[in-house]
Amino acid sequence: MCDLEALDHIFDSYNITSVVHLAGLKAVGESVKNPIKYYHNNLYCLINLVECMNTHSVKSLVLSSSACVYGDPEEIPLKETSAKQIPVSPYGKTKMMMEMILEDLAKSDNSWEIISLRYFNPIGAHPTYLLGENPIGIPNNLMPYIAKVAAGELEKLTIFGDDWDTPDGFGVRDYVHVVDLAEGHRLALSHLRSGYQVYNLGGGVGYSVMEVVNAFQKVTGRDIPYVISERRGGDVNTLVADTSKAIEELGWNPQYSNIEQMCLDHWNYWKIHSEKIKTK
């Protein structure tokens, strides 16, 4: 998407009527270490995309945004109208800037139809276990990191901080099953209308890192060795969604909200696709 000529060729080659923009760099920790990489990639790709869409008169767009736009929030759960703090990480700042760009675009031209979906933490796998998450190296997200440790691919899980302002001292996040997330996109496409809209997509329940580790161990029977490290730059205490707007306006009805089921789906995918497990 950073190659405008290649992007233009795609629009010339296919009858595109709407776009779901999922591409982008997304690791909070990496963005703190290499912010320019994130600003260049995420913002430049978006500008290329909307310029190309405009040239081809394609003005229906669903953006993959993030709960990171809320920064370190003062109120929980988070509504779309909650006061946004300055995001803690450069990644979060790129998502906020992307939303600002699209909101300004929609205000300048009412033929644009744009929805930003603010993801919380997608986990799980498709029930067929043909589609799931298997990152190369040390994962940046909790669930694939736990799965790699459970599979024996990594020795132990590193937990970033046990001194957060939460009930058990571990960071709290809201987890949404990837299948429910996909359904949210389908519904967003069918509810596009003139202007700019925002929806939270999350599970609506907060779980600490340790609660997720314990749930994974319970449903899989695998031990997850871990070590406590210092807090990671860009992280915050708690992020939990109020998803009532998506439920009421989009008709979104999450089917996989149980954390244990989400852990089990993720692990079942790994049991099929992890070479380490296959050879045990």
Give the C-alpha distances (Å, rounded to integers) separating 155 from 137, 141, 146: 12, 16, 10
Sheet holding 60-66, edge to edge: 19-21, 60-66, 113-119, 195-201
129 is catalytic: no
DSSP letter for 233, please: T
- C-alpha 144/C-alpha 146 separation (Å) is 5
Kindly provide the residue ranges of all beta strands, DSSP E only, lying in 147-260, ordered along the sequence.
157-160, 172-177, 195-201, 206-208, 226-229, 238-239
Residue 104: is it exposed, middle or buried by C-beta count within 10 angstroms (0-12/13-18/19+)? exposed
Count the helix, strand and coil residues of the chain and give each as a percent rounded to the nearest 5. 45, 15, 40
Does residue 185 contact residue 62 with C-beta atoms inside 8 Å? yes
Structural contact between residues 222 and 156, judged by C-beta atoms closer than 8 angstroms: no
Q: Among residues 1, 53, 58, which one has the least CA distance to residue 24?
A: 1
Catalytic one among 38, 39, 70, 91? 91
Could you list the active site residues?
Answer: 91
